[in-house]
A and B are shown apart, each in its own frame.
Chain A
Amino acid sequence: QKEVEQNSGPLSVPEGAIASLNCTYSDRVSQSFFWYRQYSGKSPELIMSIYSNGDKEDGRFTAQLNKASQYVSLLIRDSQPSDSATYLCAVIRVNTGKLIFGQGTTLQVKP
């Protein structure tokens, strides 16, 4: 079982719609959770961090964490073509501080 799992996609949504990206993790004691965005040929860029159960909103982005279900998600409201990228879920293992990434989900926002 992979430590961090994401559906590779592609996830295709029309412009203006809500894009929902999901991630599960296997280590129950993981303590910190992040979403990064990576455009083709570029380096990952941090979008959101979330540390406690519930929702965290920042502009058009909302991160949701459910530690009991070992599940973290990212919602993108009013999706724009410029949001088309690969979204990487990452977790920190509490014992070592190791930052581990999922395979990423490719999002395509169609005009």
Chain B
Amino acid sequence: NAGVMQNPRHLVRRRGQEARLRCSPMKGHSHVYWYRQLPEEGLKFMVYLQKENIIDESGMPKERFSAEFPKEGPSILRIQQVVRGDSAAYFCASSPGRGQTEAFFGQGTRLTVV
């Protein structure tokens, strides 16, 4: 049973370009979380999705950031017009449902904006 898969593992973008980060949840998992982590800092919640539904996006910046989790395919975190401050590690985690369920993390995508 494959774990949570994120790709790419490393992504380099020039300022102003778009970054697309993908997260395929574990088999049987229908919920996905996205987090951002800066060096030496904690995990900052961004968004919580169920297939075809955004449950909580209270941690998403109002501009340039969007997330989706379609019925088929991976969850996508999209960052438009990237700036240097977007450079960070982005992690996704998946769980089978809400509430008393354990979430498991992917390996993360390290985004570098040059």
Contact = CB atoms under 8 A, between A and B. Distances in A.
Interface residues of B, number: 25
Interface in A1-45: 31-32, 34, 36, 42-45
B65 interface: no
Interface residues of A, number: 23
Interface in B27-76: 31, 33, 35, 41-43, 45, 48, 55-56, 58
Contacts, number: 60
Contacts of B105: 36, 43-46
Interface of A: 31-32, 34, 36, 42-46, 49, 51, 88, 92, 94, 96-104
Interface of B: 31, 33, 35, 41-43, 45, 48, 55-56, 58, 91, 93, 95, 98-108
